[in-house]
Structure 1
Amino acid sequence: MEDDIGNEEIYIHAEKDMNVVVENSATLRVGFDKQDPGDQTVDIYNNRTATLEQGNDKLQLKQGNWEVLLDMSNHTLSIKQGNQETKIDLGKSTLEAIQSIELKVGQNSIKIDQTGVTIKGMMINIEGTTMAELKAPMTTVKGDGMLTAKGGLVRVN
């Protein structure tokens, strides 16, 4: 322990294991006042597990960026019961993948891959409030059971 002014430090070294048990609450403040510089670095060689038995888990970043870097890994978020919501009040959201992106609800899906976009569903409704256009050098509209074309004015070639 060092207590000289400007060099204050508490150093703890455990040759093997270190266990800390707090019977009530624990608080860690790093650079708590705005004039105090404060960074925290955590280096773990192997695995990290955090278990919260009940309650809430909240991370609030008031200003700055939040970044998670996975060099060679998978990322899985599993919600056993509940909802997931992503809301961006100002700005944009980009989801990018080299192979594919797939959205699924039951048997319905939207898949985007390097060959195109595939939409599958029991019923598919496409609605434009002003205009809808389907355009390609080759276009096929097929109704194996029945095909209905309806409009104020219908032009066929």
Structure 2
Amino acid sequence: MPCKDAMIEKVISLTPDMIVEDALHILEHEKIRTAPVISSDNRLLGMFGFMSVMRQVLPVSVTMTNGLEHLDFARGAKPDIAKRINEIKSKPVESAMEQEPITISPDLSVWEGILKLTKHGSPLPVVESGTQKFLGILTEQSAISELELIVSSSS
């Protein structure tokens, strides 16, 4: 079964010119942590979420691979972090989004999609190869639902 069978097509998406503060309100209201950023011609431009903002406002030593394991020093950095949060809130989403997210092809097998989910997290945008046209997202929930269908049909 291909990933297109497990993807969610009706997705809350954001535009690159949307203000970060408004985008965060949408994520909070919809109870999601990440959303695709889509161009006017339906191409995936990136992914934006709470982690995107955290990467922008926390010190680099915290967010880099093999970065700090303890944040006790951050108490002293609160004014600086608060200033960064206030600054980013008024910027467009495109300035804070992940610009090169891991994507998957609609024809990738569900099993390969699940492997990518376990390695890279969720959600994973599903895009047409070459055009980058956004089709939907694969999540842990949608993959498990598809697996349940596969298992029940083979019983």
Bigger Cα Rg? 1
Which TM-score applies when normalising by structure 1? Answer: 0.16
Which TM-score applies when normalising by structure 2? Answer: 0.16
Q: Identify, as 1 or 2, the structure richer in helix.
A: 2
Question: Per chain length, whose mean CA-contact separation is higher, i.e. which structure has more relative contact order (CA < 8 Å, sep 6+)?
Answer: 2
